[in-house]
Amino acid sequence: MQRRTFLTGTLIGAAVAAVPLSVLRPARAAAATVTVGSLKDLQAAVDRAVPGDRIVVADGTYTVPAGGSVRISGRNGTTDAPITVVSQSRGGAVLQGERSFVFSDSSNITVSGFAFRQSSTLEIPASCPRIRLTRNDFRFADVSGLDWVVVRGDDAKIDRNHFHDRTTEGIFLVVDGPGTTAMAQRTQILRNHFSDHSYPGANGGEPIRLGVSSRALSSAGAFVEYNLFERCDGDPETVSVKSSDNTVRYNTVRDSRGGIVLRHGNRTTVEGNHLLGGTDGLRLYGNDHLVVNNYLAGLSGRALVIGSGTTRDHHSGETTEERRGNDACDRAVIAYNTLVGNAGTLSGETRAHEPRDVVVADNILSGGTGSLVAMGATGFTWQGNILWGAAANGTVPSGGYRRVDPLLRLESDGVYRLSAGSPAINAATLTDPVVTQDLDGHPRGSSRDVGADEYTTLAPVRRPLTPADVGPDAA
């Protein structure tokens, strides 16, 4: 009996060995493209989606029932083969009702081309890394206090969308994180168009907020780049940074009440931004920031504020009220910027803790009224700056500037750049940190020019952004 059993087992083993391994394993469904025309069919397609699947939603208006949603739960694409849910044409599939997509325990999902008209927040939770929202039109119900999109998952990409038209308190795009102190990591906010927020309140209407007071000391590593902000009047802060280690670069803020504000946190880079014709420019709190190659022109408020603080440094163990306070700006480097024609050029504040050890080097400050510098702080390093115009020098110390005409010329894109023979050419003094490009994307070389522009006869690589450069139809 034992002998017979042994022989039977051996024969079965041999037979199994002869069957190809691919036959024994359950076959994984191949990636496919499927078109759906109802919420029921959309949910069914999502529930069976595998990496590489493309679910096309036919053009039309889809009203999600109260309490319902399109659930994307336990679906995982891959980096090379995401699961994509896309409108048949950009803006052609309209999602209205209380909710649209609700994500959970999913990754590598792309949602593209929808017109979102819902009345509650669209959230990317912490359990959902690598979610991409691209080429969508966001115009939620104009509900007071509603934040439209909130990101808590790592490696989210929010690109080429249009956020527009609201009159109430609430934020277009919030980046937070899990718990109360952590931040979502490596969020990329790219080539979006933010426009027409007319909320008249004093606070709470930012287009973008990176973090919140309790998360200020957490590193986020977010990139906010190549975005256009127009008529964003919902808050004095267009990009409100309340976390650490972020990069805000190559954006254009035009005709907006708000500016770029490093409200909390440390070590953020603000580079190559255009702030044009609005109210406020850059405002800095926290430590060790790098502010280079920015162009601020025609602002009716304060162009560049080096902030004082209610506290010297934020630290773990603070009370909630202490964390909400302003942290004095220490050890920032402010270099190679051009400020021209602003009502207030460079100024400070009068809180208890003044900023310290800030480097202000190789900037062009040009204005027609008031004072170019209104700072009461001591212990700064001032060097290589050029001051010009009918405005008074103000409190800039002697030895930290030259008063000389920088020979700026107004070009067709509305930007003042250096002309041949400018005393700013090859006159920069700062050696560290090394800044390799200028505002326009041209190399600076070893002999650098003062201000945001490195003189050249070449056409700019980067210019102020227009609506054609951003949003759902951007390249």
What mean pLDDT do residues 395-423 have?
Answer: 97
317 or 465, greater pLDDT: 465
- What is the residue type of 463? R
The reported pLDDT for the residue numbered 318 is 83
CATH numbers and ranges of domains, the chain:
160-469 (2.160.20.10)
- What average pLDDT score do residues 307-324 get? 86
* Torsion-angle region of 62 (φ positive above 0: left; ψ -120 to 50: alpha; else: beta): beta
Residue 135 CA to residue 148 CA, distance in Å, equals 16
- Bridge partners of 229, per DSSP, are 194, 253
pTM: 0.93
DSSP-derived secondary structure letter, 155 = T
State yes or no: cis peptide before 125, omega within 30 of 0. no
CA distances from 271 to 93, 289, 291, 294, 331 (A): 37, 11, 6, 6, 17
Closest CA to 448 of 421, 422, 427, 418: 427
Q: Where are the beta strands (DSSP E) in 141-184?
A: 149-151, 157-159, 162-166, 173-175
Structure confidence by residue, pLDDT tens digits, 71-89: 999 999 999 999 999 999 9
Check residue 29 and give its pLDDT: 60
Q: Per-residue pLDDT tens for 117-147?
A: 999 999 999 999 999 999 999 999 999 999 9
The pLDDT value given to residue 442? 98
* pLDDT attached to residue 22: 36
Indicate whether 351 pLDDT > 60.
yes
Torsion of CA 306, 229, 111, 130, to 10 degrees: -20
What pLDDT score was predicted for residue 320?
76
> Could you tell me the pLDDT band of residue 11, with boundaries at 50, 70 and 90?
very low
Summarised one tens digit per residue, pLDDT across range 173-215 is: 999 999 999 999 999 999 999 999 999 988 999 999 999 999 9
**pLDDT on residue 23:** 39
